[in-house]
DNA sequence: TTGCCTTATTCTAATATTATAATCTTTTTT
DNA sequence: AAAAAAGATTATAATATTAGAATAAGGCAA
């Protein structure tokens, strides 16, 4: 596999995560299996839209599903993905803390 | 800050990383400061295009720049971002390894 | 000052993503 | 078998991203 191809894979991976609905889906899956019906109920979005977002995460091999009667249960396939989300949140937290401090210096410039 | 707002921040962060050119830029910056001229030379893309991608990473607070004479030097602002890239590569490696094994079972089904 | 070099910004056309609506498919229930 | 339930898929209109061309801005050198 060539370097350029890996970058494309990485890009596709990041694209799969780059949508609020898909992040919300993963957030729910962090606690365990969830059926589509529950996503519909909790996320308050159109069924077909949720199905499309699930398809994108499935295609990227981030989640898998099994059919149980009429329902389809989804779960996270590689739990490491949750670590990625956690690490991103850490970076964001650090960024926010710094801008907070900047604001503090702006409002109390002589302390 | 509300939960929904955090998700939007995360989404914006992932979007910033979801482009091959921007990943290539970060890959180069992993070794230290790089000037725009070097990106132009190494990435073989239009100057304005590179400048646009740098602007996106700047806006997301992932990189910063300083002007040195005519040149502008860029560097990674939060090195943790590199850990995110590393973790993603680990997930991809694991995914690829699994599909390799699947292929192996397909081609040598009786071993 | 004038011109040149490096980078940034703006504009635009092409492409990609997204949400909704409509239409299947599959499984269960009656 | 027919109807209902749960999801998936397809089509499409609206929106967002992208690359390239043209232009602008900032700093240096003659």
A58 with A101, same domain: the answer is no
Stated as kind and residue range, the H or E segment containing A63 is strand A63-68
Report residue B111's pLDDT band, with 50, 70 and 90 as the boundaries.
low
Cβ partners under 8 Å of residue B95, min gap 6: A61, A78
Our CA-based measurement puts residue B20 at a distance from the nearest CA of chain A, in whole angstroms, of 6
B53 with B91, same domain: the answer is no
pLDDT of residue A109: 64
A12 with A52, same domain: the answer is yes
Cβ partners under 8 Å of residue A80, min gap 6: B87, B90, B91, B94
How many other β-carbons are positioned within 10 Å of the β-carbon of residue A22? 24
pLDDT of residue B2: 81
Domain count for chain B: 2
The C-alpha atoms of residue A89 and residue B11 are separated, in whole angstroms, by 11
**CA distance to A19, A81, B17, per residue, from B95 (Å):** 22, 11, 20
B32 with B52, same domain: the answer is yes
- The number of CA neighbours under 13 Å toward the Cβ of B12 is 15
Q: Residue A32: which CATH number?
A: 1.10.10.10
Residue of A nearest to B83 (CA): A87
A71 with A111, same domain: the answer is no
A86 with A69, same domain: the answer is no
A57 with A88, same domain: the answer is no
A19 with A7, same domain: the answer is yes
A93 with A106, same domain: the answer is yes
Which range of residues forms the domain containing residue A100?
79-111
A60 with A24, same domain: the answer is yes
A7 with A49, same domain: the answer is yes
A20 with A38, same domain: the answer is yes
Instruction: Select the residue of B13, B23, B91 nearest A81 (Cβ to Cβ).
Output: B91
Q: What is the pTM of this model?
A: 0.94
Cβ partners under 8 Å of residue A33, min gap 6: A73, A74, A75
Quick check: A87 and B91 CB within 8 A? no
Residue of least CA–C1' distance to D27: B70
pLDDT of residue A11: 98
Q: Looking at the predicted structure, is the pLDDT value of residue A1 above 90?
A: no
């Amino acid at each position: 596999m060539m370097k350029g191809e890996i970058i494309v894979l990485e890009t596709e991976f990041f694209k799969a995560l780059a949508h609020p609905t898909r992040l919300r889906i993963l957030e729910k899956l962090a606690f365990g299996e969830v059926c589509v019906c529950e996503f519909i109920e909790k996320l308050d979005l159109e069924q077909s839209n949720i199905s499309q977002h699930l398809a994108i995460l499935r295609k990227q091999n981030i989640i898998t599903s099994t059919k149980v009667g009429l329902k389809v249960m989804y779960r996270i396939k590689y739990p490491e993905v949750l670590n990625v989300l956690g690490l991103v949140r850490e970076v964001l937290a650090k960024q926010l803390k710094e801008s907070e401090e900047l604001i503090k210096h702006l409002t109390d410039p002589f302390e």
